[in-house]
Structure 1
């Protein structure tokens, strides 16, 4: 690989700084520029003043650690795929300031051609990427993806308001936020509608753009979404988590590594509208006034391994959050509502506690084990109480019937 031409040593001109920034293979900040031109002592102070002047003159943009020419794109930056043109992906800077002169640069995305297990996930419109950028001699821009970024999980929620001048504002639903935010792009949103938005640009005055129209702020579904936004509850799973979840769900259970408790008629008792079933119980008299019992908890750790994307996201969420019309789960649905849910008639991984409760109602002994269980019935609290009270239940409704 040929070495880059040696630059003239000493204080550079404005054009030499621009040429170096554009041709550098790495982000070019004050330190890199000083090193390239062999600057020392007072010359570094002069360079700092020169860079400040060039920024004020509109020649360069960025920070002291990474400059780029005004109207250009940083060497390494976040982009969003916005279009597909004749099979080529087109991206724009993700944080382009709408008040900046001209339209945002459009970059042709050059996806790396790799084979095998390490092949990166295919990109599509709307995806965000971290990319290394390159400006050609003709002035065109090329983006070389370094990493596909997770979908944004945070958003700003508010109601669209239009002032007397016709300018759109996002009035916050969170009472702790006292000021409305200017809307740079409201898309199809209309005045009075509840919307979800995201920030654009680096400054507060750059405003926000609407990414989703919820609709009537007084509709029942809106109250749950307002609570999610107000409390900052993560409700969108990153792509890497969604890609990992189906693979984890396919892990095979082995009765050799677990105590086989499938012969026990264990039942899961939950609210009638429960979306998943985390725990279950079995008990029988011990003949001495006490009981032998087993409490089984879904063994989520079998599917969510330490350090995995699923593990990181679960730690971030901490728990599932329930609303009247929806649930924000800790894990993707393929896990939370399927293989990690103790469903009737299905083999499931569980953590089980064997208990002995004596005639005085005290736990006299216990032991824990990893187990394989098969739930005999999923029943509602009301049905369970009816069984305890000796009331007969109609068969065929998933109820557990006393023998």
Structure 2
């Protein structure tokens, strides 16, 4: 069992000695107690009677099937379930094998910030200790975290109440007891736990853990994504107090940079501003035509110091998570939108880098400083771009000559260096959801790519390179942002696809960004441009954080470290602390303990970044499905972006939404997946639906709660490839697509699901959407 205390005197103990032993041991079975006291024969029978008496007196509690503990006490270590959450978001745990007397314990924050935060229904291994206000539990290890939880929607009928999962991949429909469903309404979003036990037939049994909202709430999409992916929300009272108890920055220990006319350029709806820029001509005769570029970043390290409650919670979150209707920030608003935000006209602490470039965009030097700055203007990307294009306003007009023109001229010099470096030039069109005042969706629009975006991006990239170079020069350990070259398998898959569109690719050639960019340039204006971009993007590996440097393939850089967004990325805060330590800029730099933990921190922030990306993507899918729900039955133009054995994924042109055309609905023959040709191919006719093909589809089903779109193919397949093997007229060709006995039948919509409506509501002016008969 658990630890054994020092051996007591041999012989049958009295009740007080027995209780003292259990208090020290935490819990023990009868055999452990007998062994500890050296009891044999009749003495063991007397011990059994004594245990029964203590239990009857209420002084002893059962733990599991054979264990005993002092009543109201917890063992040093135990397996628990997360069973409750209070109004402040604090979690409470209960022993899995605890009796009625076993108290709940508050789950304390994980000091190490290891992995995603536990949530309702998770099973954990914890250490218990008595705190000032009761029992406390500290995480040792996650066990089956989340595997027995279902996030779903209540569906009530006269006979039963079910929880239908919001995850379209899950089949765990739960039946919940009537007693738990009394206060629940049809359409409530709930978190439920799967009850253990054998359920051979029918739905599994479950219990409601908590109600989190309504499926018809306009903000349900982000609520579901937050809970489904375990994104931490809110802050503890201790963190809020610590964040509020900060001083306004002064010049002490800082260089006065308030004379430098920095400006911020951000999205129009940005609430926090963690970077500012300024550029001027280099007056050094030795650098004729060169430029000095300043990048100032909010000095978050001055407020979020190592080993504080604020730091531990920021590390646990790892990064901010952004949804169309809300942000789950890494730092409390008093910092993220207050002292750490580089607001116009206000003194702000910053970490700044002064970079020098020659006329051809080569960086010839840089220097970091810890300073006090004051932003001279707050501009949106659109504002700055319009000004450069000749449409000035009251904010941009007065600063054109002194600030905006020099910024753009410096960028055009830097651009020469970027083009020489040749980073990956993938064009991945993004959409943004415009929310209506009532919380609904006003529209879905393409996100414009402006030169102003690229200017800020290149200046931030160069600042990040400077951070990595400086930390290496000062021999300070750091977290790199690394991106590996594509694997051989991915390159082979790319070459196979390119062969189908007549573009050669040497499989033996080592991948490099210039070769990828040549391919993208050759196909940019052709019919395959969009799908080539998509396939090249899928060929790339995922970037991660690591204390070991392998370079950044996509940016074509030897060393790279995220430095420019410490308000929303913990990795950047760690790099800031490294610079403070390496350059001796203050006492709040990277600690020895953090250096020892860099590998774990890098792994953790990589996990939290992926968690946020998955949650953001899921929320987008659900919002788009909600937007399209009124267009069921309408016809859309799109492109095949995925080919799988179970169907085709089609991206709709106007909204960028991805929907599935099930393979069972494609035609009057059996379609098989040709993975080399990246196509679904008819077995009898050889007709094909290849990757990248433009098609017309009808929306059959849109399910906002899961984000699922089901489409019906309206376009005819391409003719058989004359170079492909002859069609096979086999069993499936004669007997329908499943080899059954009847003639093949054309399916409608999802197999076994409802037929699409013949009409559907008007398309609401969506481009690329039209009503019409099947062609």
Normalised-by-shorter TM-score class:
0.5 to 0.7
Return the structure number with greater strand share: 1
Match of 2:134 in 1: 145
User: CA 1:50–1:378 in 2, change beyond 3 Å: closer, same or farther?
Assistant: farther
**Cα deviations by residue, 1:311-361 (Å, 9 ceiling, x for unpaired):** 222222221111100111111111111111111111111110101122122
**Cα deviations by residue, 1:232-263 (Å, 9 ceiling, x for unpaired):** 2222334433332222xx13423131111011
Q: Which of 258, 265, 269 pairs up with 2:265?
A: 269
Structure 1: runs of 5 or more not aligned: 1-5, 83-92, 110-129, 134-142
Q: Which of 163, 167, 174 pairs up with 1:170?
A: 163
Match of 2:317 in 1: 317
Q: For the residues of structure 1 that align with 2:269 and 2:334, how far apart are their CA atoms?
A: 18
Match of 2:559 in 1: none
Report deviation, 1:66.
Answer: 5.8
Structure 2: runs of 5 or more not aligned: 1-7, 54-59, 87-91, 106-127, 140-145, 199-203, 402-775
User: CA 1:227–1:394 in 2, change beyond 3 Å: closer, same or farther?
Assistant: same
Q: TM-score, normalising length from structure 1?
A: 0.65
Match of 1:67 in 2: 68
Answer with 23-32 or 341-350: which moved more: 23-32
Q: TM-score, normalising length from structure 2?
A: 0.36
Report deviation, 1:365.
Answer: 1.4
Query: Is contact 2:73-2:102 (8 Å) kept?
Result: no
Query: Is contact 1:377-1:400 (8 Å) kept?
Result: no
Matches within 5 A, 1:135-214: 145-147=134-136, 157-162=151-156, 165-166=159-160, 168-181=161-174, 183=176, 185-186=180-181, 188-195=183-190, 197=191, 207-214=206-213
Match of 2:724 in 1: none
Answer with 30-39 or 303-312: which moved more: 30-39
Match of 2:348 in 1: 348
Q: For the residues of structure 1 that align with 2:357 and 2:271, how far apart are their CA atoms?
A: 31
Answer with 201-210 or 297-306: which moved more: 201-210
Query: Is contact 1:266-1:282 (8 Å) kept?
Result: yes
User: CA 1:253–1:105 in 2, change beyond 3 Å: closer, same or farther?
Assistant: same
Return the structure number with greater helix share: 2
Q: Does 2:7 match 1:9?
A: no
Cα RMSD of the aligned pairs, angstroms, is: 4.9
Match of 1:88 in 2: none
Report deviation, 1:280.
Answer: 0.7
Corresponding residue pairs, total: 334
**Cα deviations by residue, 1:161-185 (Å, 9 ceiling, x for unpaired):** 346643x443322244432345564
Match of 2:385 in 1: 385
Matches within 5 A, 1:9-158: 9-10=11-12, 25-26=23-24, 27-30=26-29, 34=33, 38-39=37-38, 61-63=62-64, 67-68=68-69, 73-75=72-74, 95=94, 145-147=134-136, 157-158=151-152
Q: Does 2:250 match 1:258?
A: no
Q: Which of 255, 276, 281 pairs up with 1:280?
A: 276
Report deviation, 1:384.
Answer: 0.6
Q: Does 2:235 match 1:242?
A: no
Find the residue that maps to 1:306 and give its secondary structure.
coil
Match of 1:360 in 2: 360
Q: For the residues of structure 1 that align with 2:380 and 2:206, how far apart are their CA atoms?
A: 49
User: CA 1:220–1:320 in 2, change beyond 3 Å: closer, same or farther?
Assistant: same
